[in-house]
Structure 1
Amino acid sequence: MGPNVAIIGAGFGGLCMAIQLEKAGIRSYTIFEKGSDVGGTWRDNTYPGAGCDTHSHLYSFSFERYSSRTRRYAGQPEILHYLQGCADKYGLRSRIRLNTAVVSAAFDESLGKWRVRTSAGEELFDVVVSAIGQLNRPQLPDIPGISTFSGAAFHSARWDHSVDLAGKRVAVIGNGSSAAQLVPKVAEVAGHLDLFQRTPNWVIPKQGIDFSPRVRTAFRLVPFLQRAYREWVYRYAEHILYPALAGGWSTDLVRKYALGHLHEQVSDPVLRAKLTPSYPLGCKRVVIDSDFYPALTRPDVDVVTDRITRIVPGGVETVAGVREADAIVYATGFETSEFLSTIEVTGRGGRRLAEEWKDGAEAYLGIAVPHFPNLFLLYGPNTNLGHTSIVFMLECQVRYVMGCLPQLASRGPMEVRPEAMDTWRQNLDRDMEGMVWQAGCTSWYKNASGRVTGNWPGSATAYRRLTRTPRPEAFQFAR
């Protein structure tokens, strides 16, 4: 039978957790999903050009081979179809409650169980696994006058497909990964596009999106090659991209690669100067795209670097004047540092998670929090990556949680010891000192106080080693 498990979220993390429970013969679980289908961020982000900039063979479960042999990088429809297929194949649908948001979760010490409350009522669970992710709460910029705009306006993660942008003057505010994907597509149909850029991003090109016919044939005839290719992509990220973020041997190599890409695709020295970052590569999330720069060189596209002062009914006002617009797209990212902020979580002794994290979210291994028994986080604090696939990290975390279930079943509710958390924090801070994210730029990796709460400062291989098996001495048990 196993423990009764509540899983919050039906994206990559939640589905992975449910699949491993199924494989272990544990079917006493429920997935709560606030949306109308599985998929998480890949259900929500439907803007033109939406897709993944991590190789598809790595941005997929190791136990469920990526089905396409034609593309290196999957688009949003493909990824959503992949996740829907996983839910169907492993029989998860009957245990998913769609359109059901979790409002609160409180640990009842007298019962040793969690009281999980949704709009449909309250239920008891032995274990709560949060798989709500970091990229699900759109962030709008703090610009005066947003509500006064007379045209269509929406966030890129809430794309309004009823709005026809053909021939329109479109303002795109923000220039990160989402903007890099949508700008080329929108520029093809818009009458004019203004990209409002506060800080330029480092951009490196995508390797050819489609595999050659020869490679497709090889994948078809020799299935093992897909796993070998996945391993090669993983090793490339670990041994070339990761060192560039840690001040290692490849720092200058990757920087020159990015600058070479800029010079090759942007010949105008004035525009090139606008697009050249002044901070170290990797301090902010690196954009991986080959179509972004060519779109910015179009005669009907302007890169606007003048500071925005406010939104007016007819467009966007900067210090240099008003740029007229018929529609505004806010490609301004997500609220990433306030983990679990949409759910009121109360642990042992009435401790509120929001209060515990008032100075910044933190968790042992990014998974467990002192004073919150049997609560496990997937894609929690300091588990995001700047160089490889988050799906790899999720599988490590799910394996770790699966290793905890037999222990809490036999020894009672388990929570990480404060001293284990202290040691983890000290090691994390020490390792973080050498990472490029500390270089002084602003990014979604950091919280409001400037602490990096998003990213893992080690290699993915090191994280896999640390999460291979739970250490009982790091926890205390109720029995």
Structure 2
Amino acid sequence: MTSTINQSVSTGKGGRPTPHVRVAIIGTGFSGLGVAIRLLQNKVKDFVLLERAGEVGGTWRDNTYPGCACDVASVLYSYSFAQKSDWNSTYGTRQELFDYLKDVADRHGVRPYVKFDHEVLAAKWDENLRRWHIRTSQGDYTAQVLVAGSGYLSDPVIPDVPGIEDFQGKIMHSSQWDHSYELDGRNVAVIGTGASAIQFVPAIQPKVGHLDLYQRSAPWVGPKPDKQIKGVHGWALKRVPGYRAFRRGWNKNGREILAFLFKRPPLAEKTIQGMAQRHLAKSVPDAELRAKLTPDFAVACKRLLFSNKWYPAIQQDNVEIIGGEITKVTQNGIVGSDGRERAVDAIILGTGFLATKRPIAEKLSGRGGVKLADAWEAGGMKAYRGTTVAGFPNLFLMLGPNTTLGHSSQTVMIEAQIAYVVDAVKTLAKRGLSSVEVGADAQEAYNKEIESLLDGSVWDAKTCTSWYTDSTGRNPSIWPANTRKFTRGTKKFDLDAYQVATLAGAETHADVKA
């Protein structure tokens, strides 16, 4: 379907022109910065990055809890086009990754395009002008293309536990760590045993007086082969041409084996689950405690974790592991499923993020004023190639539905999406188009393929319930195949899957570069 429209300059308060850009990008984590860099490399300079914080970095800026680090090797958890040769160890710490992103933003000239302290409050598609009208905390913008790069690990889950608002002590989520609060000698409760908890618990355990660890279900934990990068390996990363690319490829291909295994649960149980069971048996000699720490679900149904410090920390005398549901929180402590109230000075929430209810979706309104959150509530959280959504022209979601990886580096998916988005921006200009909107049929067919790929895998919602699944029992999170398949599908913008509108007249662009 093709239509022709005229575009004019919109006005803001006081009749002043609203700054207009070709592309507006929300967020400056790996997704947002990556899109910006690739736009610049393709000679597209008419864009802006809208960042709610005062610095770039996304999740690696926001998460500052003790022990915060990546569980994917840094040679792979980084941009292929901006490799770093001086990582301190195999797995980057939070500070290293934060510094890396700041350095990349500077070296690639992205920082002048960032509008800091600009929280996006709402964005609405203007059907007459065929552009996005974006309202921020610092003023309005319009854009032909809107890229939502705020990710899915940006808004924390606060558990709905009776009485939690009555607690008189300190409560903090791991992603909102209060470093001014001293934990030394205090009685502390930790709720949750996920990816964050297995990092901060070993870091705080030696300091606290006592630690109550509340777990509904134990996680599968494998050994983390973290080593200092030095000697010949360190020298080669810095000096030998092609060595970094070789190491990246080696790591990436090795992880693709996991995708093969996770599609075949019996094989995954024999290999990966067996590895985790051996790590548990070697680390925890007490049979009763080992039973408490053995998960009741298949490996990778929930995120597979890696740590050499978790099991030693939670076996210390000042740690108690408490299973089951929390009954309530009182003014002074927590009542567990055993009915006992345990007094604590502080509660730390390691309860993860809103992965299947994206807060950004509440702020995005597409054709007919329909909110993305409402569209997903009615029809399920779905997108085409994890990136575009029927009814939302010129909107591109980074790390959208079914792009989460359970086996490899999320940056691989991000780079694949970046290629797709940048090619879409170029296609709009080359073809003289004002808008592109994925067809509902194409989106539905794509999601049926996703369902077929999930069927029978370790992530199959029929046999696995986790934070990957939504309230309907569907898995809108995981990419259930190897990354090569996704990369092939997003290498070029497939215009045939889209409805388009042509651009009749020239646009006037306001300069938003700082």
- TM-score grouping bracket, smaller chain normalisation: over 0.9
SS at match of 1:229: helix
Residue 429 of structure 1 deviates from its aligned partner by 1.2
The residue aligned with 2:381 is 361
Structure 1 stretch 298-307 or stretch 256-265: which is displaced more?
298-307
TM-score (norm 2): 0.90
SS at match of 1:385: coil
Residue in structure 2 matching 1:244, options 256, 261, 275: 261
For residues 95 and 275 of structure 1, the distance between their equivalents in structure 2, rounded to whole angstroms, comes to: 48
Residue 349 of structure 1 deviates from its aligned partner by 3.0
Residue in structure 2 matching 1:99, options 117, 129, 135: 117
Greater relative contact order (CA < 8 Å, ≥ 6 in sequence) = 2
The residue aligned with 1:21 is 39
SS at match of 1:412: strand
Closer, same or farther in 2 for the Cα pair 1:421/1:306, shift >3 Å?
closer
AA aligned opposite 1:101: E
Query: Gaps (5+ residues) in structure 1?
Result: none
Instruction: Indicate conservation of the 8 Å contact 1:201/1:276, yes or no.
Output: yes
For residues 361 and 457 of structure 2, the distance between their equivalents in structure 1, rounded to whole angstroms, comes to: 30
Closer, same or farther in 2 for the Cα pair 1:367/1:319, shift >3 Å?
closer
The residue aligned with 2:240 is 222
> Runs (4+) of structure 1 moved beyond 6 Å?
none
Residue 139 of structure 1 deviates from its aligned partner by 0.5
Residue in structure 2 matching 1:186, options 204, 209, 213: 204
AA aligned opposite 1:356: A
For residues 10 and 127 of structure 1, the distance between their equivalents in structure 2, rounded to whole angstroms, comes to: 17
AA aligned opposite 1:434: G
Residue 3 of structure 1 deviates from its aligned partner by 6.5
Query: Given the alignment of the two structures, is residue 478 of structure 1 paired with residue 496 of structure 2, yes or no?
Result: no
For residues 361 and 475 of structure 2, the distance between their equivalents in structure 1, rounded to whole angstroms, comes to: 21
Residue in structure 2 matching 1:465, options 488, 496, 501: 488
Residue in structure 2 matching 1:89, options 107, 132, 136: 107
Residue 218 of structure 1 deviates from its aligned partner by 2.9
Closer, same or farther in 2 for the Cα pair 1:36/1:343, shift >3 Å?
farther
SS at match of 1:358: helix
AA aligned opposite 1:460: T
TM-score (norm 1): 0.96
Residue 341 of structure 1 deviates from its aligned partner by 3.8
Instruction: Indicate conservation of the 8 Å contact 1:69/1:219, yes or no.
Output: no
Residue in structure 1 matching 2:437, options 403, 407, 415: 415
The residue aligned with 1:378 is 398
For residues 62 and 457 of structure 2, the distance between their equivalents in structure 1, rounded to whole angstroms, comes to: 31
Instruction: Indicate conservation of the 8 Å contact 1:205/1:288, yes or no.
Output: yes
The residue aligned with 2:53 is 35
Instruction: Indicate conservation of the 8 Å contact 1:103/1:343, yes or no.
Output: no
Residue 214 of structure 1 deviates from its aligned partner by 3.3
Instruction: Indicate conservation of the 8 Å contact 1:368/1:416, yes or no.
Output: yes
The residue aligned with 1:349 is 368
Residue in structure 1 matching 2:472, options 435, 449, 457: 449
For residues 234 and 268 of structure 1, the distance between their equivalents in structure 2, rounded to whole angstroms, comes to: 36
For residues 497 and 251 of structure 2, the distance between their equivalents in structure 1, rounded to whole angstroms, comes to: 34
Residue 306 of structure 1 deviates from its aligned partner by 4.3
Instruction: Indicate conservation of the 8 Å contact 1:69/1:220, yes or no.
Output: no
Q: Deviations over 1:145-183 (max 9, x none)?
A: 112212111001000111111111111110001000000
For residues 177 and 32 of structure 2, the distance between their equivalents in structure 1, rounded to whole angstroms, comes to: 24
For residues 335 and 283 of structure 1, the distance between their equivalents in structure 2, rounded to whole angstroms, comes to: 18
Residue in structure 1 matching 2:221, options 180, 183, 203: 203
The residue aligned with 2:354 is 335
Residue in structure 2 matching 1:174, options 192, 197, 207: 192
For residues 359 and 325 of structure 2, the distance between their equivalents in structure 1, rounded to whole angstroms, comes to: 33
For residues 314 and 154 of structure 2, the distance between their equivalents in structure 1, rounded to whole angstroms, comes to: 28
The residue aligned with 1:58 is 76
Structure 1 stretch 168-177 or stretch 441-450: which is displaced more?
441-450
Residue in structure 1 matching 2:328, options 300, 310, 317: 310
Residue in structure 1 matching 2:276, options 258, 262, 272: 258
Residue in structure 2 matching 1:286, options 304, 318, 322: 304
Structure 1 stretch 132-141 or stretch 89-98: which is displaced more?
89-98
Instruction: Indicate conservation of the 8 Å contact 2:212/2:320, yes or no.
Output: yes
Residue 209 of structure 1 deviates from its aligned partner by 3.4
Instruction: Indicate conservation of the 8 Å contact 1:170/1:328, yes or no.
Output: yes
The residue aligned with 1:401 is 421
SS at match of 1:134: coil
* Count of aligned pairs: 477
Residue 224 of structure 1 deviates from its aligned partner by 2.2
Residue in structure 2 matching 1:117, options 114, 135, 143: 135
Instruction: Indicate conservation of the 8 Å contact 1:3/1:405, yes or no.
Output: no
Closer, same or farther in 2 for the Cα pair 1:444/1:133, shift >3 Å?
same
For residues 69 and 488 of structure 2, the distance between their equivalents in structure 1, rounded to whole angstroms, comes to: 30
For residues 121 and 431 of structure 1, the distance between their equivalents in structure 2, rounded to whole angstroms, comes to: 44
AA aligned opposite 1:440: T
Residue 343 of structure 1 deviates from its aligned partner by 4.3
AA aligned opposite 1:411: L
Q: Deviations over 1:187-233 (max 9, x none)?
A: 01111111111101101111123235332233233242221111111
The residue aligned with 1:424 is 446
For residues 55 and 362 of structure 2, the distance between their equivalents in structure 1, rounded to whole angstroms, comes to: 20
Q: Deviations over 1:275-303 (max 9, x none)?
A: 10121101011111111011111111111
AA aligned opposite 2:400: G
